[in-house]
Amino acid sequence: MWLAKNKDEREFTGGKTDWEAAARIAEQCSGFEPDDEDEQTADEAVSCYNCRYRRWTVKSFSCLLPT
C-alpha cells in the first residue's frame, strides 16, 4: 500500500478515499495519533486519514512516521 518517494517518505497508494485500507493500516500501527478534530476526514476514528502524522499530497498522503 506504500510507494517509497525517498528514504524518509512513503506515499499511500490508495489515494484519498480508500477508507477501508486506511482504517486497517492505522489499526495495526503503533504510531497512530489522532489529528485535531478539524483535520479529520474519515468517519472511522482510527484511520491513517485522521492521523497527525499523515501529510496530504496532491493524490494521497505521505506517512511521516519513521519506517
Cell numbers that stand for 19 in this block: 477508507
* 30 counts as binding another protein under rule CB under 8 A: no
Cα(10)–Cα(51) distance, integer angstroms? 15
Burial of residue 16 (CB within 10 Å: 0-12, 13-18, 19+) is middle
Residue 55 touching another protein (CB under 8 A)? yes
Under the binding rule (CB under 8 A), the answer on residue 36 touching another protein is yes
Among 19, 20, 25, 66, binds another protein (CB under 8 A): 19
Looking at 28, 37, 66, 67, which residue binds another protein (CB under 8 A)? 37
